[in-house]
Chains A and B, each alone.
Chain A
């Protein structure tokens, strides 16, 4: 499925969740959403967005957290799936965008491109609810139910590369974005 309509499904379903984006997800999500509860984890330590999202979920149990990761980032920290499962957050969804390549560096394939099974890894790591989608219609139809499954949840979306537009967005300095995000949290 194409990435942008796949993300639009989540934009349309969003009801007050914190959304943590990183890398390519930041680039597209920032074009689709301007919600004060968007936390664009950029600059990042690649692969660590799910852990930052886990920290937010544990700190703020009254809020739902959706954290994105790419497949390249996921491969950098598969143990993080075990950490998430062990922490057992009751309000956490990880969305893995799998396109088989390191898109922001020019499209080189990952070591697991075409062979790795992230959904199986998520289940084996102990995540409570794991779903995987290749077709946009299937994802659109099942998304509301997926977001209501027992946490921690993992949703693997097989997405197409965006194309030649590999550049990450230019965002304002991190300090200002962090301050505004904290203010949004404080505002309830």
Chain B
């Protein structure tokens, strides 16, 4: 599992300024660590699609936002991310909780559709299963930044 203190540290190293999010039961365990980090502003949305437009405004205004949602929220977000990532070509970063990835033999349809949906959008992705993957995640986002591309880090979850 990816832990709150380590993700907060990683986000600060990357220069993330705002976490625009709707947590699930894994991502929600990060809240104490994220909230304790003065370099991060947490912005809670009511539905995940909102997060993309809010993050777009922050990015246009000069901030470095990060969208954090569960994969089910990614599914809900389709039109919003289509607009900001493709119409406006804004190189936003996101972390997406990959529900049930860690459950062997899971028939959770949220698990079944996550990678195909991201592939359909043509988004660059990186799977992170534990804190050991956070340096790769940081390198991935830096690569996205250098290339002016959006990027999605998939965070492996159990029940999510």
Contacts and interface: CB of A to CB of B under 8 A. Distances in A.
Interface of B is mostly: helix
A48 B83 contact: yes
A48 B87 CA distance: 14
B46 A59 contact: no
Interface residues of A, number: 30
Contact of B49 (A45, A54, A56, A178): A45
Given A45-B53, A48-B50, A174-B88, A56 B83 contact: no
B56 A55 contact: yes
A71 B88 CA distance: 24
B46 A79 contact: yes
Interface stretch (A6-14, A81-89, A114-122): A81-89
B62 interface: yes
Given A79-B47, A83-B46, A175-B89, A55 B57 contact: yes
Interface of A is mostly: helix
Interface of B: 18, 41, 43-47, 49-50, 52-63, 65, 79-80, 82-84, 87-89
Interface of A: 39, 43-46, 48-49, 51-60, 77, 79-80, 82-83, 86-87, 174-175, 178, 181-182, 185
